[in-house]
């Protein structure tokens, strides 16, 4: 059981006067990440289901004594919602020091977002891509700042199918999840490359991705079989608190102040698949993502 639990973030770093956004922080590893960061500083809980998010935030406030745990509506399956969230945040806050792109969907039956994107690609990759784009200048002004993208070991099974990004020709929901997690790794890699100017390095402006582990959470709710298996083999799965440790590590650990473009698991660097190290695919995915979202990000 101790082996399954993995490593723990040991950093005692404070975030006094700093602001963190965590997407999908009303349940699972997102909620546990918010709980930990709320003991250190101000946390914005960004979720689609605000009622559930308020319940989680209320619990965290009571436990940590931090009233600066704030809920804001964010639906990553709708670019209008993403833009509204960013606009409101930028009107209310002058700085942003940590952006944790945590929210995600898994094993969804075939469906599309409000903008016509395949659901896994739209929520897990494109939604966070747009959110990061809209908040990037605020992050730069606030540096040192960190962007943390929650990916998965499943990226090893993914490939970027540019000829059928939205699964209209063929669709497998397990593979669709893998493809989107590979997109997270490639996005992180290309973002870090683009942020590699000397001024960003000096300021400690970083972007890293991670695998949280196999976690007993609601992420498998779209699959009856996986939900059943998760219950049977729960002893061999991480708890949400255990699964949150690498997210917390990437967000606060002092030794990562100048580490960027890396992929972590159990609070240490981990192996990235060959497709996850393909710079040409990363650049093309960046370009295609900008085109799909109607943005210019040079």
110 catalytic residue (yes or no): no
Supply the pLDDT for residue 233.
47
Per-residue pLDDT tens digits for 262-281: 999 999 999 999 999 999 99
Bridge partners, residue 34, by sequence: none
What is this structure's pTM?
0.92
Whether 217 is in a domain gets the answer yes
Per-residue pLDDT tens digits for 143-183: 999 999 999 999 999 999 999 999 999 999 999 999 999 99
Whether 9 is in a domain gets the answer no
Supply the pLDDT for residue 217.
54
Supply the pLDDT for residue 204.
82
Supply the pLDDT for residue 5.
64
CB proximity list for 263: less than 8 A, separation 6 or greater: 151, 185, 188, 208, 209, 210, 211, 269, 270, 271, 272, 276
Alpha helices in the chain (DSSP H): 2-5, 28-38, 50-64, 79-92, 119-120, 128-142, 173-194, 198-203, 224-232, 240-243, 245-252, 279-293
Supply the pLDDT for residue 234.
55
Per-residue pLDDT tens digits for 198-221: 444 446 899 999 999 866 555 555
Supply the pLDDT for residue 224.
47
How many separate domains does the chain show?
A: 1
Whether 3 is in a domain gets the answer no
Which range marks the domain in which residue 266 is found?
Answer: 15-291
Specify the CATH number for the domain of residue 229. 3.40.50.720
Look at residue 4 and tell me whether its pLDDT is greater than 70: no
Supply the pLDDT for residue 237.
78
With contact defined as beta carbons under 8 Å apart, do 104 and 150 qualify? yes
In the structure, what pLDDT confidence band is assigned to residue 230 with cuts at 50, 70 and 90? very low
Whether 5 is in a domain gets the answer no
Look at residue 231 and tell me whether its pLDDT is greater than 90: no
Look at residue 197 and tell me whether its pLDDT is greater than 90: no
Task: Provide the mean pLDDT of the chain.
Answer: 92
Whether 297 is in a domain gets the answer no
Whether 250 is in a domain gets the answer yes
Supply the pLDDT for residue 213.
80
Average pLDDT over residues 112-137: 98
Look at residue 293 and tell me whether its pLDDT is greater than 80: yes
Supply the pLDDT for residue 6.
76
Buried b (16+ CB within 10 A) or exposed e, 105-140: bbbbeeeebebebbbbbbbbbbbbbbbbbbbbebbe
Whether 7 is in a domain gets the answer no
Q: Catalytic one among 3, 171, 177, 263?
A: 177
Whether 52 is in a domain gets the answer yes
Per-residue pLDDT tens digits for 34-79: 999 999 999 999 999 999 999 999 999 999 999 999 999 999 999 9
């Amino acid at each position: 059981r101790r082996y399954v639990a993995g490593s723990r973030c040991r950093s005692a770093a404070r975030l006094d006067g700093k602001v963190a956004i965590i997407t999908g922080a009303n349940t699972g590893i997102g909620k546990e990440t918010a709980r930990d960061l709320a003991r250190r500083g101000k946390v914005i809980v960004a979720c689609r289901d605000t009622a559930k998010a308020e319940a989680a935030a209320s619990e965290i406030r009571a436990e940590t004594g931090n009233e600066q745990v704030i809920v804001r509506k964010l639906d990553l399956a709708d670019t209008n919602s993403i833009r509204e969230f960013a606009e409101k945040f930028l009107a209310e806050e002058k700085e942003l020091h940590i952006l944790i792109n945590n929210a995600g969907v898994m094993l969804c039956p075939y469906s599309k977002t409000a903008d016509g994107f395949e659901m896994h690609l739209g929520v897990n990759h494109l939604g966070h891509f747009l959110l990061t784009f809209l908040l990037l200048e605020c992050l730069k002004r606030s540096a040192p700042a960190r962007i943390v993208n929650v990916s998965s070991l499943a990226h090893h099974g993914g490939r970027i199918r540019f000829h059928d990004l939205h699964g209209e020709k063929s669709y497998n929901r397990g593979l669709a999840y893998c493809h989107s997690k590979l997109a997270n790794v490639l996005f992180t890699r290309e973002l870090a490359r683009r942020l590699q100017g000397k001024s960003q390095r000096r300021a400690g402006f970083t972007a890293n991705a991670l695998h949280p582990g196999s976690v007993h959470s609601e992420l498998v709710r779209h699959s009856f079989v996986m939900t059943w298996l998760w219950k049977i083999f729960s002893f061999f799965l991480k708890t949400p608190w255990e699964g949150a440790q690498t997210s917390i590590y990437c967000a606060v650990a002092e030794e990562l102040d100048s580490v960027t473009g890396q992929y972590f698991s159990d609070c240490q660097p981990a192996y990235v698949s060959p497709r996850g190290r393909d710079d040409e695919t990363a650049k093309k995915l960046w370009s295609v993502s900008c085109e799909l979202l109607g943005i210019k990000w040079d």
